[in-house]
Amino acid sequence: MKNFTYDEIKIGDTASLEKILTNEDIKIFAAMTGDVNPVHLDPDFAKTSIFGNVVAHGMWGSVFFSTLLGTKLPGLGTVYLSQTLNFLAPVYLGDTIKVEVEVKTKDDLKKRITFECRCINQNQKTVIKGEALVIAPKEKIEHEDINLPPLGFLA
């Protein structure tokens, strides 16, 4: 892994990733956060909700903004200062979500960058949007990729 320094980053630069929402993702997120609202975990209950089906936790998609900012752009050494979020539409099981961050403004005095953040589903509908403010690293940093252990507790 490596980063981009404040001086290397330009307005309009982007980073993205794609993720398909699985039932395992929902279970992992529920176990991690303790949010066991049945609209996320019980298909029969979810059918009676305003969504009509199981949906992701709202924060599920937004956590990937942190992934991009901390590992891709700017990457290693980034300090996350704030995040705004607007949840515009539900994310359903099987949805493919493209998560994007884009540089909107740079503050040369404080070395801070504002990113526009978006989650867009396979139908090109924006489901989450917001802004993140970060302090970008001043120096280049490299680190070996970290391999995480498998999540075997959901068997």
pLDDT digits (tens, 9 = 90+) for 136-151: 999 999 899 888 777 6
Q: Is 31 inside any structural domain?
A: yes
Q: Is 23 inside any structural domain?
A: yes
The residue-averaged pLDDT of 72-86 equals 97
Q: Which residues contact 107 (CB under 8 A, 6 or more apart)?
A: 113, 114
Q: Is 145 inside any structural domain?
A: no
In angstroms, what is the C-alpha Rg of the chain? 17
The C-alpha atoms of residue 36 and residue 97 are separated, in whole angstroms, by 22
Q: Is 155 inside any structural domain?
A: no
pLDDT in tens, 25-39: 999 999 999 999 999
Domain CATH number, residue 64: 3.10.129.10
Q: Which pLDDT value is given to residue 151?
A: 63
Q: Is 62 inside any structural domain?
A: yes
pLDDT in tens, 108-126: 999 999 999 999 999 999 9
Q: Is 1 inside any structural domain?
A: no
Closest by Cα among 129, 93, 124, 125 to 20: 93
Number of domains comprising the chain: 1
- Its pTM stands at 0.90
How far is CA 10 from its chain centroid?
Answer: 21
User: Range of 77's domain?
Assistant: 6-139
